[in-house]
Amino acid sequence: MDHFADIEMEHPAGGTPLRMLPPDVAAWVHRVLQADEEVACCLYADILPDGGFGERWAFLTNRRLMVLSSDGAPDKAEMPFEMPLRHIEDAAVREYVGSSALLVTGPDRAHEVVRFSRGSHQEASDLCHRLKEAIEKHKAGDEVDRIPPLPPRRVAHRCPHCGRALRRAGDPCIHCSDRRRILVRLFSHVLPYKGYALVGLALTLTMTALAVVPPYLTKVLVDDVIGQNNLSLFAVVVALLTGVYLARAVVTTFRTFTLEWLGNKVLFDLRVHLYDHLQLLPLSYYNQRQTGQIMSRITGDLQRLQYFIAEGFQEILVNITTMIFIASILLLLDPVLFLFALAPVPIIAATTVLFGHHIHLLYHRIWRRMAGLHELLADTIPGIRVVKSFAQEPRESDRFARRSAELFGQEMRAVKLASGFFPFLGLMTGLGSILIFGVGGWRVLQGQTTLGTLIAFTGYLWQFYMPIQQFGRINHRLQHCVTSAERVFEILDSEPEPVQQPDALVLDPVQGEVEFRNVSFSYEPGKYALQDISFKVEAGEMVGLVGPSGAGKSTLVHLLSRFYDVSSGAILIDGHDIRDLAIWPYREQMGVVLQEPYLFHGTIWENIAYANPNASPDEIIAAARAANCHNFIVNMPDGYDTVIGERGQTLSGGERQRVSIARAVLRDPRILILDEATASVDTETEMMIQTAIERLVQNRTTFAIAHRLSTLRKANRLIVLERGRLVEMGTHEDLVHSGGLYSRLCELQSELSKIQAW
């Protein structure tokens, strides 16, 4: 498709279209559209009604839903289905085995509009969602003048250049990666230390120049000293050879130190830059990746870059310079022998390029399997209690052995390729040297050249072949480097949160007035976690969020924390759109107490002070007292200096929760989020936590999520969610008597309490 159509589904960043309409389809659409009609979204359907493969397009406009069937000729296009929006009563996407269908219900019956494969499922979900919104407007008596644009779409699962499937949506294509651009970008990190790089390069060139001297001195020794029986010149030649080797040793020492410092320094900068960038990435990035995979890139991939950053470029430059310089010497020594010396070069160059392509793909597979091992370790080691509780040690050992075997298999494929390639290079250069010995020996016997010239030529010949062999080995390391650099730059290219916008508004302090205005949000296009949520919370008010699991309660507070941005609508803080606020100053005025509190490895003092590292000892102790955890802390062997282990495992669940509350108290937030803060503790501990929470919520805007409805009796209002929609809102007493969802939930919990008491 060489032409872009007017109707296209945009990439989230507003760039490359994910699916461009073919020109004939676009022409047909423009021809049939009415004057006041516009297309909201379209769906590519690749399965025909009879189950065979074919091409159809479904279009949703502000007037109708229609389907195009065409064989590439707009004049022959047909419209097998058309229905005005006012006649559609319902819409749904039905999943079958290997395919799905878009269904709509009309006044008389249900219609299967189009059928499609799984690749178009999310587009169909988007179209269905917009269609349902239009249906609701018609039912309410409103005219649909315009259907709002779709929310940002998913990124493509296929490479836009070669069409190959990507391992994960948005990942770079390993087949289309520009290795030269990657290397240029990698070496840009060396520019701040170009002085050290130039010193290292000068030392490298000096060492290379010194390596050229011994073969020539050997020629002088054979032809002018031994051949002429010149003892005075013998002492000079020996002294020069000794001086050259001593100088090479000194230069090599300084070169090694300089390049090692350069490599480690650039590696240090990259590691810090990468970690800083990881701190800025949104939660959606971490939701799609496992911890072990990210750790693999920070440690293993960065380590593989060190050699090439420090020495790789210089080795390439030195090898090229050496080849040109030595080739000039060989040409001057004996032009005939030089032509024979070039015989294996084309074969070596062709095999090196072929080897580099195959080994690059293999290293991607190896790194993925290595990351898989790290993912497994990151899962099982923190969860070792669960593993042991269910006696699953043999199963986990088998999983690790299988993944290790997969890694071993891919590594052996690379070893086989390398073990055949490098001996082949040696064979080619060896055959070249044999050819030179044969032709050169014949020329010496014929008196066409001297023995010293032949010895010097063979000495230089190995220095000529050595860079050629090194290019093969450098190419091997280059593929290591490029593969790791792609994985590192994939993280650095991920879009961070907009935390440092220069025009962002800073509210200091936040008063705490919160308004959700027609907020909708989806983690995946077409599957909305929240739909058209609207309510307002006054500053200092406590609001309870209630509803079944999956109703959207946690999603709502995630949006409030701006871990995600709304798909449509707006969240207002003190009358300002949350997207206009500077993130860090805003989050500094928020406090969160989670159902499963996360404590860091360290002392209790450090964990409480995490909310405010500059807090005084009196402030930290006051926060601990307010959270009802001071007494159990001082009774521990080391008091506040007690090391609580990874994730606070040495503390009980209630103790961990109270420490997390103390951390929130120390923050002194203006907006407080309580996410099931008492869900996993016993009754006595719950009373202590409730007492601490009652102190914490005073004079703060509080959003409390709880399944134990009794914990929300003191909330000013309750917001009841079901399937992403706000279904009820009011006080506890009002909702209990309303006979709605909240009333039913209260009755169920009351019955459950009776069963537990019995």
Write down the pLDDT at residue 280: 81
Strands (E), 77-214: 78-84, 90-95, 100-105, 110-116
Helices H / strands E in the chain, number of each:
23, 19
Write down the pLDDT at residue 498: 67
Write down the pLDDT at residue 17: 35
State mean pLDDT over 11-18.
Answer: 32
Among the ranges given (160-174, 191-205, 337-351), the one the predictor scored with the smallest mean pLDDT:
160-174
Among the ranges given (24-38, 346-360, 377-391, 426-440), the one the predictor scored with the smallest mean pLDDT:
377-391
Write down the pLDDT at residue 9: 38
Write down the pLDDT at residue 73: 53
State mean pLDDT over 329-351.
Answer: 76
Half-sphere exposure of 448 (CA within 13 A, CB side): 10
Write down the pLDDT at residue 168: 55
Would 508-589+672-679+700-758 and 595-668 be classified into the same CATH topology?
yes
d(CA 111, CA 85): 14
Give backbone dihedrals phi and psi of 610, rounded to 5 degrees, phi first: -60, -30
Give backbone dihedrals phi and psi of 403, rounded to 5 degrees, phi first: -70, -35
Report which listed range, 52-56, 329-333, 375-379, is most confident. Answer: 52-56
Q: How far is CA 493 from CA 204, 278, 279, 579, in A?
A: 34, 11, 14, 22
State mean pLDDT over 154-174.
Answer: 53
Q: Which two tokens stand for residue 448?
A: 């066409």
Q: Which two tokens stand for residue 506?
A: 């800073």
Which position has the token pair 């989050």? 587
As to burial, measured by CB atoms within 10 angstroms (0-12 exposed, 13-18 middle, 19+ buried), residue 298 is middle
The answer on pLDDT for 1 being more than 50 is no
Half-sphere exposure of 689 (CA within 13 A, CB side): 27
d(CA 691, CA 697): 10
d(CA 448, CA 461): 19
Residue 707's pLDDT band, with cuts at 50, 70 and 90, is low
* One CATH from 1.20.1560.10, 3.40.50.10490, 1.10.3720.10, 3.30.9.10 for 180-492: 1.20.1560.10
Dihedral angle computed from the Cα positions of residues 421, 426, 427 and 428, in that order, rounded to the nearest 10 degrees: 90
Q: Looking at the DSSP assignment, which residues form a beta bridge with residue 536?
A: 515
Please answer whether residues 47 and 36 qualify as being in contact, where contact means their C-beta atoms are separated by less than 8 angstroms: no
The answer on pLDDT for 161 being more than 60 is no
Query: Considering only CA atoms, which of 689, 537, 670 is closest in space to residue 591?
Result: 670
Write down the pLDDT at residue 757: 44
The answer on pLDDT for 174 being more than 60 is no
Q: How far is CA 604 from CA 107, 340, 650, in A?
A: 66, 76, 11
pLDDT averaged over every residue in the chain:
76
CATH T-level fold of 508-589+672-679+700-758: Rossmann fold (3.40.50)
Q: Which two tokens stand for residue 66?
A: 């229609």
Q: Is the dihedral of CA 16, 18, 23, 26 positive or negative?
A: negative
- Written as one string, the DSSP assignment of 699-732 is TSEEEEE-SSGGGGTT-SEEEEEETTEEEEEE-H
Residue 562's pLDDT band, with cuts at 50, 70 and 90, is confident
Strands in 725-730's sheet, in edge-to-edge order, are 590-593, 671-675, 701-705, 542-546, 717-722, 725-730
Write down the pLDDT at residue 425: 73
Please answer whether residues 515 and 535 qualify as being in contact, where contact means their C-beta atoms are separated by less than 8 angstroms: yes
d(CA 643, CA 109): 68
- CATH 3.40.50.300 fits domain 595-668: yes
Strand, coil or helix: 112: strand
The answer on pLDDT for 12 being more than 60 is no
For the chain, domain boundaries? 8-139, 180-492, 508-589+672-679+700-758, 595-668
Greater confidence (705 vs 75) lies with 705
Write down the pLDDT at residue 750: 67
Dihedral angle computed from the Cα positions of residues 322, 324, 325 and 326, in that order, rounded to the nearest 10 degrees: 80
The answer on pLDDT for 154 being more than 60 is no
List of residues 6+ apart from 321 with CB closer than 8 A: 205, 208
Question: 0.75 exceeded by the pTM?
Answer: no
pLDDT digits (tens, 9 = 90+) for 461-507: 777 777 776 666 666 667 667 777 777 887 887 777 766 566 778 88
Residue 15's pLDDT band, with cuts at 50, 70 and 90, is very low
Strand, coil or helix: 594: coil
State mean pLDDT over 280-290.
Answer: 75
- CATH 2.40.160.40 fits domain 8-139: no
Please answer whether residues 608 and 623 qualify as being in contact, where contact means their C-beta atoms are separated by less than 8 angstroms: yes
Strand, coil or helix: 603: strand
d(CA 305, CA 296): 13
Dihedral angle computed from the Cα positions of residues 235, 238, 242 and 243, in that order, rounded to the nearest 10 degrees: 60
Strand, coil or helix: 90: strand
Q: Is the dihedral of CA 318, 323, 328, 333 positive or negative?
A: positive
d(CA 717, CA 728): 10
Q: Percentage of residues in the chain with pLDDT exceeding 90?
A: 0
CB atoms within 10 A of CB 436: 22
The answer on pLDDT for 403 being more than 80 is yes
- Written as one string, the DSSP assignment of 31-72 is HH--TT--EEEEEEEEE-TTSSEEEEEEEEESSEEEEEE-SS
State mean pLDDT over 403-431.
Answer: 80
